[in-house]
């Protein structure tokens, strides 16, 4: 057998890209590639890119520039750009960076083996179609390998919401849900390979509407069916939209023990005027009502959110509404960003807020969020959480993992094994991290 070629994939952006990178590695595995941890000895480098905010795309271009020396040293090295920058820029990437051999958008990864062959034959290849077929079904399957205890599983992709600032509807395309049977088969396969926790992924995962037995299934029904898989201990899902938080999904948070008490539910702004300008189609009060109902179902639910400051037209009063909403909710985790104009989106045409003002608001918002994130773990000292032990820790005999609430936790116990869920009594807590003793 020929010596395997080496594939280095660098992944930017969201968890869906992490999942896609794994699928691309499997697909190219069928073309004779094994993955490597370093770009230096690679025969193919793939950058799986993100376009959601400005710096992400710029980072890709500067990263590409750095491969010049590698390509000079190894003329057989092939360089590819995948993901949302690939989709948005297409062949423009090749004009701007002649080192690039291959550009592949997020919906055509199943064509990667053929593109690789074309590139090996000396060509350059670009494919940014939105084909009818499901890329996951047509991906060649690589060797079945054991997996770590936690895995992602994409169930839904794309978005029809068209928030005024967001590129996702353009880069990932219209909303598509994978059929229930495919999702279940993939979950069963993951569990057979050692997975104990699955995070269901979708840009709008709670809008999931997959073909199932007897008709279309929503996310709650899918979760309940997944929960029947015996070896599967934990289910999570991300990212959700407040308008798709249906009754049965809220109920599942209360009565499905495998569904973890953590929810990422972005609101973006607390000002109704800005929410309207963002085309979010909900008010701050609508969002707070959803949160109340979720907490009624599951009082210890930890909430996470996304915020944008400095959206075009945002005044200090609008920003104060965002701070008020944050105070009303109490987030255990949050991501906040300065607005960045994405070409092709409706908001990109509007006059923005000055960068100084946006930076100042971001700092104030982040200070408030950090304060909330300190308070929650402090309240946990002396309490017990369940930690899924995912990796060996840095200290001898230590195992590290995540609590139900997604905090990092660690402990030491000679009887514990990776994949176990250990009860950990918290002896020390910091933002996002818990130290404990396994009990
Ligand atoms: N500018 C700043 N933040 C953005 N996000 C999406 N688009 C933009 C943009 N143009 C943020 C939103 C979203 C998260 C994934 O990224 O908060 O929820
Ligand atoms: Fe983007 Fe809005 Fe769709 Fe989320 S819901 S992916 S922010 S358009």
Q: Domain spans of the chain?
A: 5-127, 146-260, 267-281+289-378, 384-438
> For 75-116, how does the pLDDT look when each residue is reduced to its tens digit (9 = 90+)?
899 999 999 999 988 889 999 999 999 999 999 998 999 999
> For 288-302, how does the pLDDT look when each residue is reduced to its tens digit (9 = 90+)?
999 999 999 999 999
Maximum C-alpha span of the chain: 67
Confidence at 412, pLDDT banded by 50, 70, 90: confident
Q: Do domains 267-281+289-378 and 384-438 have the same CATH topology?
A: no
Q: Round to whole Å and give the CA distance between 73 and 13.
A: 29
- Measured CA to CA in angstroms, residue 389 lies from 117, 149, 439 at distances of 40, 8, 13
**To which H or E segment does residue 167 belong?**
none
Q: Whose CA is nearest to atom 5 of ligand 2?
A: 161
8 A C-beta contact, residue 80 and residue 102: yes
Which tokens go with 302? 């930890």
> How large is the angle between the packed helices 247-255 and 284-297, nearest 10 degrees?
30
Is the overall model pTM greater than 0.85, yes or no? yes
* Of the listed ranges 146-150, 172-176, 237-241, the one predicted with least confidence: 146-150
Q: Round to whole Å and give the CA distance between 214 and 199.
A: 25
In this structure, the number of other CB atoms found within 10 A of the CB of residue 71 comes to 15
- For a ligand 1 pocket test, name from 12, 15, 53, 325 the mutation site with the most ligand atoms within 8 angstroms of its C-beta: 53
8 A C-beta contact, residue 320 and residue 314: no
- Dist. CA 325 → ligand 1 center (Å): 18
Q: Is the CB of 170 under 6 A from ligand 2?
A: no
Number of helices (H), then strands (E), in the chain = 14, 21
- Dist. CA 52 → ligand 1 center (Å): 6
Region 413-433: what's the mean pLDDT? 76
- Tell which CATH classification among 3.40.50.970, 2.40.50.140, 3.40.50.2000, 2.40.50.1070 matches the domain 384-438: 2.40.50.140
- For a ligand 1 pocket test, name from 51, 54, 57, 166 the mutation site with the most ligand atoms within 8 angstroms of its C-beta: 166
Q: Whose CA is nearest to atom 2 of ligand 2?
A: 163
- Measured CA to CA in angstroms, residue 45 lies from 3, 70, 208, 254 at distances of 17, 10, 33, 45
What's the CATH class of domain 146-260? alpha beta
Q: Round to whole Å and give the CA distance between 258 and 248.
A: 15
> Which are the contacts of 355, defined by CB distance < 8 A and separation ≥ 6?
310, 338
Q: Round to whole Å and give the CA distance between 112 and 50.
A: 18
Atom of ligand 2 lying closest to residue 167 CA: 1
What burial class does residue 343 get, using C-beta atoms within 10 Å of its C-beta: 0-12 exposed, 13-18 middle, 19+ buried? Answer: exposed
Q: Round to whole Å and give the CA distance between 165 and 78.
A: 34
Phi, psi of 398 (to 5 degrees): -85, 140
> Of the spans 130-139, 234-243, 406-415, which averages the highest pLDDT?
234-243
Q: Round to whole Å and give the CA distance between 335 and 347.
A: 20
- Tell which CATH classification among 3.40.50.9100, 3.40.50.720, 1.10.10.60, 3.40.50.12160 matches the domain 5-127: 3.40.50.12160
Q: Is the CB of 163 under 6 A from ligand 2?
A: yes
Strands 44-49 and 78-82: parallel
Beta-sheet strand order (sheet of 5-11):
33-35, 5-11, 44-49, 78-82, 102-104, 125-127
Confidence at 145, pLDDT banded by 50, 70, 90: low
Strands (E), 377-432: 384-392, 398-403, 408-412, 421-430
Confidence at 408, pLDDT banded by 50, 70, 90: confident
- For a ligand 1 pocket test, name from 337, 342, 362 the mutation site with the most ligand atoms within 8 angstroms of its C-beta: 337
Specify the pLDDT at position 277.
98
Specify the pLDDT at position 411.
76
Q: Is the CB of 159 under 6 A from ligand 2?
A: yes
> Which are the contacts of 375, defined by CB distance < 8 A and separation ≥ 6?
none
In this structure, the number of other CB atoms found within 10 A of the CB of residue 23 comes to 18
Q: Round to whole Å and give the CA distance between 79 and 69.
A: 13
Q: Is the CB of 306 under 6 A from ligand 1?
A: yes
For the chain, the straight-line distance linking the first and the last C-alpha, in angstroms and rounded, comes to: 50
* Of the listed ranges 1-15, 62-76, 370-384, the one predicted with least confidence: 370-384
Confidence at 136, pLDDT banded by 50, 70, 90: confident
Q: Which ligand places an atom closest to the C-alpha of 157? A: 2
The CATH architecture to which 267-281+289-378 belongs is 2-Layer Sandwich (3.30)
Q: Round to whole Å and give the CA distance between 272 and 281.
A: 10
In the predicted model, is pLDDT for residue 425 greater than 80? no
- Dist. CA 166 → ligand 1 center (Å): 6
Q: Is the CB of 212 under 6 A from ligand 2?
A: no
């Amino acid at each position: 057998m020929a010596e395997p070629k080496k594939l280095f994939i660098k992944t930017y952006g969201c968890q869906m890209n992490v999942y896609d990178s794994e699928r691309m590695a499997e697909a190219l595995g069928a073309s004779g590639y094994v993955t490597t941890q370093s770009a230096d000895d690679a025969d193919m480098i793939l950058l799986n890119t993100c376009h959601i905010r400005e710096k992400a795309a710029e980072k890709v271009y500067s990263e590409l520039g750095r491969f010049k020396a590698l390509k000079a040293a190894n003329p057989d090295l092939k360089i590819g750009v995948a993901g949302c920058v690939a989709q948005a820029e297409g062949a423009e990437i090749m004009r701007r960076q002649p080192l690039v051999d291959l550009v592949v958008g997020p919906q055509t990864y199943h064509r990667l083996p053929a593109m690789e062959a074309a590139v090996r034959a000396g060509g350059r290849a670009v494919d940014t179609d939105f084909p009818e077929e499901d890329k996951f079904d047509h991906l060649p399957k690589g060797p079945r390998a054991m997996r770590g205890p936690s895995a992602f599983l994409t169930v839904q992709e794309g978005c029809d919401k068209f928030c005024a600032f967001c590129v996702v509807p353009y880069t990932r395309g219209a909303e598509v849900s994978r059929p229930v049977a495919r999702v279940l088969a993939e979950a069963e396969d993951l569990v057979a390979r050692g997975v104990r926790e699955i995070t269901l992924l979708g840009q709008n995962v709670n809008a999931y509407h997959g073909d199932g037995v007897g008709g279309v299934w929503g996310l709650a029904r899918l979760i309940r069916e997944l929960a029947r898989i015996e070896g599967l201990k934990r289910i999570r899902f991300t990212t959700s939209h407040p308008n798709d938080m249906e009754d049965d999904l809220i109920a599942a948070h209360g009565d499905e023990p495998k569904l973890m008490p953590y929810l990422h539910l972005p609101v973006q702004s607390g000002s109704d005027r800005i929410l309207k300008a963002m085309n979010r189609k909900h008010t701050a009060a609508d969002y707070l009502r959803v949160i109340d109902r979720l907490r009624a179902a599951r009082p210890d639910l930890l909430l996470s959110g996304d915020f944008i400051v400095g959206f075009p037209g945002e005044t200090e009063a609008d920003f104060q509404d965002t701070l008020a909403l944050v105070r009303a909710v109490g987030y255990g985790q949050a991501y906040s960003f300065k607005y960045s104009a994405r070409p092709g989106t409706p908001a990109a045409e509007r006059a923005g807020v000055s960068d100084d003002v946006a930076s100042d608001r971001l700092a104030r918002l982040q200070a408030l969020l950090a304060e909330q994130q300190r308070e929650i773990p402090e309240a946990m000292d002396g309490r017990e959480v369940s930690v899924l032990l995912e990796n060996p820790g840095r200290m001898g005999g230590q195992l590290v993992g995540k609590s139900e609430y997604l905090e990092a936790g660690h402990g030491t116990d000679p009887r514990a094994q990776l994949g176990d869920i250990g009860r950990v009594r918290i002896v020390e807590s910091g933002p996002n991290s818990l130290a404990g003793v396994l009990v």
